[in-house]
Structure 1
Amino acid sequence: MHYSMRQYRAEAQSHSHSDFHQIIISELGKLEMEVEGRGGEVCGRQLAFVEAGKTHAYRAEGLNRFLVLDVNADLAHRTGLEALWHRHGSAATYLEVGLGHQRGLIGLLDGLSTADTHESTDGARLLDGLKTLLLSSRQTNGGLAYGKVDLPSRLVRTMAWAEARLGEEITITDLATIAAQSESSLFAAFQKHVGTSPMRWLTEQRLQMAMALLRDPEIRLSMSDLSNAVGFADQSAFSRAFSRRFGCAPRTIRPGAAVL
């Protein structure tokens, strides 16, 4: 078993791997994929399962970051992970999962060895985490698990659309159009199912994205570029919003930065 955080280039690439399956989870950005001629995307709360031996092409424009797990094919078969995936979809299918489960899986992986552990306790814990993630997913009618609440499909669609465009200007009118609702109905739906307004939810996603970029040692953006990348046209407004949310200035988050 091996896992890593990866960034992809805008130029399309393709390959296959015969001895391990691959699970790809979006942390930031959108990965366009084609597996054996079947196209799809990994973004927002979507993950992809690519079976061993399947040729797949991929590309991602702009800032991006994905959690990629290489799972030994024999281990996946013996532990039932392959069968679990096929019960939820099929090879090269893009499955919806709850955001909380993405973060939980990443936290779990942070404490594990990157070795191919097979029968070890680490290997068992990792596979249990993957099974939990897949079992918590929803494919029927486009719904998915969001914490303990099943979101309506129109909110799922709207959130996924916005999460793939956090660096762009997004208005409440845009969100209402994607949801096929009036602005007032969308506001009421967010309050009921998410517990906040659409624009406050959007701001939270942008600030969480900014935090992830700041913590990544391989990404070194100026504060101006960073604020633009997460959808803030004004750097001062971004800094104020970030400080209110996290209790510290964004500059103090960079690896190696001195906290004043």
Structure 2
Amino acid sequence: MPSTIRQIPLDTATQHHDHDFHQIVIGLRGQAEFEIEGLGGSISALSGCIVPANHVHYYAGTGDNRQLILDLSAQAPSLTGFHHELARLFDAPRFFTLDDPLRRYLDFLLHELAVSPASGTATQGDRLAATLLGCLHARLADTTEPGHRRIDLRRLDRYIERHLPSKLSVGDLAREACLSETHFRHCFRQQTGMTPWQYVRRKRLEAAHRLLRDSRLPLSEVAALTGFSNQSALSHACREAFGQPPSKLRGSSRLATGHSRALA
């Protein structure tokens, strides 16, 4: 997919979607509001935002608005080969403002689009896009990386506890956190130091240990209540995490010494 450059107004009613290609939006007239995976901001003339692929984003134009939009697949010539470093622009969403040199280049780009309809697609579009991306990369590469949205772990914990007996997927957790699955995985690992699967497994083990310690429920029921497929799976997990089978954990007043080691 080559780079495509288009000029459109944004609907004034709030819309949202995600797509499998990167996008840069630059305001030409009026104003627009964007929220990209929880990062919100406004775009007016000569400012813009970076929307990485597969990031859910909400957007709405205000009144008479017009936006320049660049659509860029990960395999676009302007992001591969000699230009491969420019792909780093899409590591995370962010907002930016054009400085004077970039404003002059934008005028040139708009002139090219006006005099040559083919400029918005194919080879010429890739050339125009690569120059713009290179200029943006030079200006943004040295700025502080924008903070990733922090996941509300208390809310996520409550969700996990409510659904502990069920099969939980990363997609389920990502939807609860209002993030795309790809962005959720990245943010979760950065925030907790573990994968979502490791985190849910730890929650299952903690709940199983509490039930073993405080109740006389059959092991099969403990397994079912904490999301283990059967008693054998529970027993294997307890031996691995606590160094003891479930029967030895009955009535204990604290976690086995292997607890911290296994759940860290």
User: TM-score, length-normalised on structure 2?
Assistant: 0.44
Larger Rg: 2
Calculate the TM-score normalised by the size of structure 1.
Answer: 0.45
